[in-house]
């Protein structure tokens, strides 16, 4: 199997890059941690990679707003480079802070009129939430979620509430199948929550009050994906908070996201060789 290469973009304050690299390598990829300053110095760097990942953490200390400074660097200095990467049908993944950056930079959802159609803002609780949540994919558009029926993953954020600029924007995103990952309550309360936009999942199952219970969003192609939960934190069986009390599993739920990304490009590269 051909081996895709993953560029993991770091910035001051990023702190999940090593775990993300481990997850991609466990899935069969080669990884390289690249500081944002290196990319600004050599804008050709992404040409050597098939997958770009913006990991979690607190880029630039989340000063001003979570992910805002790194997003502005991308918009003002790397917009053309990363849109070329996207147009080449490569994959882009943003996790937690990386999701915030993708939304605020316009890489995930186009800022057609100069204003973002959606953003991530303060949790309804008004505080940092650190817990595990149940998740259910919605639709089949997202490359990273292919074959996934449900996931149990940790979240850790203060600004994770997904909000759209208005109801028509939210409905349009839903109609295009872009609201691809939802928070769900434990069964039987979870029945229908993943598809019914008008049925809110209560706190703490929806840990931030996101509209339509949204935990992850993709672009229309399904190749650019951002999510607030941390899949890289549940790769091994022993990462589960109750691992001693559940049946042993071969892999943690989060590994499927990285494997899907690797297989998408491994199959493509194998065909070309």
**For residues 26 and 42, what is the distance between their CA atoms, to the nearest angstrom?**
28
Reported pTM: 0.94
Which residues are within 8 A (CB) of 11 and not within 5 positions of it... i.e. 6 or more apart?
Answer: 35, 36, 59, 60, 70, 73
**Is domain 5-122+156-170+217-272 given the CATH code 3.40.50.880 in the classification?**
yes
Tens of pLDDT along the chain (273 residues) come to 579 999 999 999 999 999 999 999 999 999 999 999 999 999 999 999 999 999 999 999 999 999 999 999 999 999 999 999 999 999 999 999 999 999 999 999 988 777 889 999 999 999 999 999 999 999 899 999 999 999 999 999 999 999 999 999 999 999 999 999 999 998 654 444 444 545 889 999 999 999 999 999 999 999 999 999 999 999 999 999 999 999 998 999 999 999 999 999 866 655 555
**For residues 235 and 21, what is the distance between their CA atoms, to the nearest angstrom?**
12
* Residue found under tokens 């989060």: 254
Write the DSSP string, 44-68.
TGGGG-SEEEE--B-GGGG-SSTTH
Among 19, 205, 232, 239, the active-site one is 232
3 state DSSP class of 165: coil
Which helix (H) or strand (E) segment is 22 a member of? Answer: helix 17-26
The answer to whether 19 is a known catalytic residue is: no
The answer to whether 263 is a known catalytic residue is: no
The answer to whether 230 is a known catalytic residue is: yes
Among 157, 230, 239, 240, the active-site one is 230
Distances (CA, A) of 266 to 24, 152, 260, 262: 13, 26, 10, 6
Domain positions in the chain are 5-122+156-170+217-272
Among 16, 53, 96, 218, the active-site one is 96
Which residues are within 8 A (CB) of 172 and not within 5 positions of it... i.e. 6 or more apart?
Answer: none
């Amino acid at each position: 199997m051909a081996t895709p290469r993953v560029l993991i973009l770091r910035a001051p304050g990023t702190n999940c890059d090593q775990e993300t690299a481990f997850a991609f390598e466990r899935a069969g990829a080669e990884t390289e941690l690249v500081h944002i300053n290196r990319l600004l110095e050599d804008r050709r760097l992404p040409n050597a990679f098939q997958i770009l990942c913006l990991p979690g953490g607190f880029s630039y200390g989340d000063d001003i707003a979570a992910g805002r400074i790194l997003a502005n660097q991308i918009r003002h200095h790397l917009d053309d480079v990363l849109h070329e990467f996207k147009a080449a049908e490569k994959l882009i993944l943003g996790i937690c802070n990386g999701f915030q950056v993708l939304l605020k930079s316009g890489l995930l959802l186009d800022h057609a009129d100069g204003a973002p159609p959606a953003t991530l803002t303060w949790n309804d609780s008004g505080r940092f939430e650190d817990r595990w949540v149940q998740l259910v994919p919605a639709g089949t558009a997202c490359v990273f979620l292919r074959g996934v029926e449900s996931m149990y993953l940790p979240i850790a954020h203060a600004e994770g509430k997904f909000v759209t600029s208005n109801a028509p924007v939210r409905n349009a995103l839903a109609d295009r199948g872009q609201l691809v990952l939802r928070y769900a309550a434990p069964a039987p309360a979870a029945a229908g929550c993943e598809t019914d936009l008008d049925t809110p999942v209560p706190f703490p199952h929806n840990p931030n009050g996101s509209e339509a219970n949204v935990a992850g969003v993709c672009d229309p192609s399904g190749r650019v994906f951002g999510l607030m939960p941390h899949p890289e934190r549940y790769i091994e069986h022993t990462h589960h908070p109750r691992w001693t009390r559940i049946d042993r599993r071969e892999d943690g739920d989060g590994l499927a996201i990285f494997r899907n990304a690797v297989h998408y490009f491994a199959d493509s590269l194998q065909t070309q060789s």
